[in-house]
Structure 1
Amino acid sequence: MWVYEAVPCHSECSDNAWVTEAWSVCAINAVDDLPACGEGVQSRKIRCVKRGSEGHGTSLDDTLCDAEEMPFRAQTCFLPCPSECVMSHWGPWTECPTPCEQDTVRKRTRYMLRPPASNQTCPEDVQSEPCVLNGTCFTYQYNVSNWSTCQLSENAVCGEGTRTRFLDCVRSDGKVVEPSVCEERGLETQWELVVSCFVECPVNCILSEWSAWTECSHTCGSQGQVVRTRSVLQAAHEEGRPCPSQLSQTKPCPIRPCYTWHLGEWSPCRVEGAECGEGVRERNLSCMVHWGDWLDASSPKPVEDERCGDRLNKESEQELLLPCFVPCPGDCHLTEWSSWSSCQLTCLEGRSFETVGRQARSRAVVVQVLENQESCPHQVFETRSCKGGKCHSYEWRTSGWRDNERSVWCQRSDGVNVTGGCFLQNQPTTVRHCHPPCTKPFSHCTQSGVCGCERGYTEVMTTHGFLDYCTKTPGADNKKADVKTNSGRMKPGPSHIQDFFGQWSLRPVGPDGRIKLWVYGVTAGGFLLILLIISVSFLFCTPPSQTKSSCPPQKPLTLAYDGDVDM
C-alpha cells in the first residue's frame, strides 16, 4: 500500500475538491516460472481542482484541497490462482434506516464464480458494518458565525460601512462540509448575513478659555492666592484627544503687610489720690503690623496708627476703660463674676414641660476681717432666661467620715459639682453626734454613732446597751492593737505619742468617775507650801524699827480654790 502525507490546507480549501480517475488493473509481481496470481496492487490518479469544474478544471496544488478528504491513490487487489475459489465483486451496501439507531448496521454480499480445488474453502460472502461509521447517520445544520467588524470603504476611517457573517454547513460530528450538503436537505437559511453599520469619527476634547483671575483670598499676608478655571465644552469621543484632568490653576498673591488694631492687657486697678475704693483699669490700643499669622516667628510690631485706618467706634472705645474696686481693710470684697452656667430646665423625673430654661452665674464674697462678716453679703447669684436647655438631676454626695466629720456637696447628673440644685431638706449631716452625748471619762463618739472608749480602755455597758464607764484594759500597756469591746465594735485608737504619755501620766479620776484621794492630798500639800514661802519672805523682808525696809512693797496675795484638779 502506498502511504501519502496529509498536508494542512488554507482557508481556500473549501472552494476546491478532489477528482479521481478509474482504478488500474491489478498488478502482481510474478516470477517467470510461476503463474501470475495472488495479492497485488492497483492504483488511480487523483487531483485537486476548483470546485464545480471537476470534469475539465485545471489541476491545482494538492495543498489547496482538504487533506482529510483526499481519496486513496492505491489499494490492494487479489487475483485468484487456478486452484483457488473465485468470488464476484461486492455488491452495494444496503440502506441504513433514518434516523439511525445505536446498533444499526448495513450489509453487502458477493457470490462464488468458481469453486476451489479440494481441501480449500471460499472467503466470506457477507460483510457488515455499523451505519454510523460510514456517515450515513450524520445530521446536518447551519451554523452562523459572529458579525465581523464594521468594514469601511477603502481609505475611510469613519462613517458608514457593512458588517458580515457566514453560514457553515456543519455535520453532527462537528465537521464543516460543503454548503450543498445542507442545500440538498432543504435546510432553511433565514439569517441576515449583511447589515449596515456606522463608525463614529474621532472627536477631540474642546475646552473653554481660561477665566479671569479671582480676587486674592487674603487681603494681606503671605497665605493668599488667586484662582482661574476653565470648563469642558465637548467631551472626547472614540479615539479623540481626551480632556486634561486639571481644570483650574492657582498662584500666590503678592505679599503685603497686615495692619491690625490690637488691645493690650488690663492694667492694675488704679484709685486716684487714694489707697482703696473705686478705681479704673486701662489698656492700650495699638496698631500692629504682621504677615497674616499672628503667632508666627516674626512677632507683631507696633507702627503708626494711621496704618490701621479709623480707630474703634465709640462702643469699642469703652472697652479701653473698666471700672474696678480696691477693697479697704475691713471691707468685704466681691470676686469677678463667674461664667454663665449651661442652660437648665426644671425637670420632673428626667422630663421637662417647659421650653425656656435658666442659667446662672455667681460671685464670691471675700471677708477681710472676720468681725465684719455679719455686715458682708452672702454669695451673690444672678439668673437669666435661655433656650435649648437640658434636663439634669441633682444628688447629694458625701465623703468618708474622718473624726466624726465629712464633706457634703451637690453633684449634677453630668458629673459637675454645683452650688444649689439639691433639696436642702435632704442634705446629709456633716458632723456626727452620739445620743446620748459621750460625757464619761476617756470616752468619745465613734463612727457608728455610739459612745466608745479610747485606746487602752474597755467599755463597760449598762443593761440597756449604753456606755456606763471606761476601765483600763489589763496588760494594755504593751499592746498597740485595738481592743474589741463587748459591744462588738472596734474603737479608733490614739496615736503612739498619746499612748506613751498616757502610760506615764497620773489619772486624777478613777474608772468610776470620782476624784482620787491623792488629788486632795497633793492640793493640801501645795497650799501649805505656799503659806510657808509667804512667811519666810515676810521674815526676811521685815526691817528694824530705826531703818526703812529695803524690800519693795508687796501686793496683797489673794488665794482662791475653785476645786480644779489641774491646780
Structure 2
Amino acid sequence: MEGVKTPALLLVTIWLCWALAPPAGAEDVLCYERFETGSCQDLLGEGVAQEDCCLNPNYGYQLHPEAPCQSCRPAEWSAWTPWSSCSVSCGEGMRRRSQTCQGHGQCQGVQRRKWETQACSLKDCCPVMGGWSAWSPWSSCSVTCAQGVKQRVRNCTEPTPICGGSCLGHNSETLLCNTYKICPTHGNWGNWEPWGPCSATCSLEGVERKPTQHRRRVCDSPAPSSIPPGLPCSGASNEDRTCALLPYCPVDGSWSNWQSSSPCSVTCGLGRTKEKRLCNNPAPQHGGKACPGSDTRSQFCNTKIPCPVDGQWSEWGKWSECLRPGYTGKINCQEIVGQQKRNRTCKGRSHDGKRCEGSYIEFRSCYNMHLCIREGQWSEWSSWGLCMPACGENPIKSRKRMCQPTYPNYSMVTQGVGNTGSVNVSFWGTPYPRCQPINGQKKEVVESEPCLNILPCSEEYELPPFLEDHSANAGPQPSPDFKFVEYNAGEA
C-alpha cells in the first residue's frame, strides 16, 4: 500500500510483566505431586521444606493456599493458550493468545508473560434486520362456550432479513373472546389417598408376610355439574393390594482395624504410604448404612534422595563459515565445495540422569555464496502479519514481498569423506540479489493496513515499550528450486 510508512512486522510478540517473587529455599510450602499448565494437583503434604519438595523437578508447590502454583523445574515458556474468541461476530475483528514463564528463574528477558494478537473473521457479512407484513384478520373464537381466544399473525417479509437478521417483536397476537354460554363441568378424580400401613415394618431374613393395604379417592377435582349436566368420573373409587415381601430389618456396617502400611511409593523425592480397612465388622445388610469415611488413608514419606534429571540438547548453534580445509584461495561465488560445522550442548543433567544421545557436533558440505551478486526474482506477497501493538491504540498489520536470489546450477551432491558415500551440498552465505525495482524499492516492498474492531485492553495488561523489530534483518528466503540453503542475517 503506497504511502504507508509503518515497517513490515511479520511476527511481533508483546511481553507483559507478571511479578512473581521466587520463594526462599528453606520456607515451608504446600507440596504437590503434579504441576500441569500452571496448576498444582494431588497435594502431597503441608509444611514441607521447599528444597525437599523440589528434590523431584516434576513436583509443584504453593507458599500458602491462596498463592499461585509454582513449578520445581527450571524456568521455561508454557505452550501458547488457545486463541481467544473473535472480537466481533461478523466482519473483521481481532483475537489474542499468550504464553506464561513457569518455574524458577527467568525465561528470555525479564517478562513473565507475552502476547500475540491477530486479525480474524467469523463471517463476511453482518445481519440486516427485516420488516413485518400487515396483520392478518382475527381468527374465530377457539371455544363454543365460556371464554376462549382469537389470534392474528404477520410475516417477516417486508423486507426479508439477510445474513441472519430478524424482525423485532412477535409474529402473532391473541385476544380473549367470550361466547356468553356456560360450559358443563365433567367430573375428575382427586388424588389417591396414601396406602394404608402394612401389619409390620420389617422382619428377620426368610420370613414372608402378605398383609393388604387399602386406599380410596373422591370424584371432586372437580365434581360433575348438574346444570348443564356433566359426566361422572369413570373407574373405581377404592383399591386394595397385597403387601409384597416385607423388607428385612437393616443392619449398619462397621469398620475393621486398619491394615499395616505399604512401603514408600517412590525411591527419590517425596512419596506416599497407604493403609486400608474393610467395612465387614459387620458388613451393611438390607439397606443398612455403609461405614462412614474412607477405606484408605495415606501419609507422605521423604526419601531425602534427589531424583535424576536427564540431559537435554540445546538448540544447534549457527553454521560456521563455508571454507575448504587446506585451500588458500577464495571459494565464494565458485563451484568449489567447502565444509561447515555447528555445535550443541547437553544441558541440565544432574543426579545421575541420562546423558544426551547423539553427537554434539555436525558437519556438512557447502557452496560459499557470501556477497555474490546474483540475479533475483520477487517473491509472492507474504501472509498478513500480526496486529501491532497487540494491546494499544491504532494497531497495524503488514505484509511484504522480498527480492530473492536465484542460484547457479551447481551439482548438489558430492563425495563424502572416507567411505561415507555421496552427501548433499548446501548453499551458504548472504548474496546480493538484483531485482527490477518496484515503486523505487530494490530489496523489499511493504504494504500496511489498520486492524479493525480492536479488542479492549484490561487494566492488568500495561504495555511496555515496543520490543525492537528484527524482522527486517531476517535475510532473503531460500529459492524454491534448491534445498539446504542458509542465509546469515546481517552479514551483507
Query: TM-score band (shorter)?
Result: under 0.3
Greater RCO, 1 or 2 (C-alpha within 8 Å, sep 6+): 2
TM-score, normalised by the number of residues in structure 2: 0.16
Higher helix proportion, which one? 1
Bigger radius of gyration among the two: 1
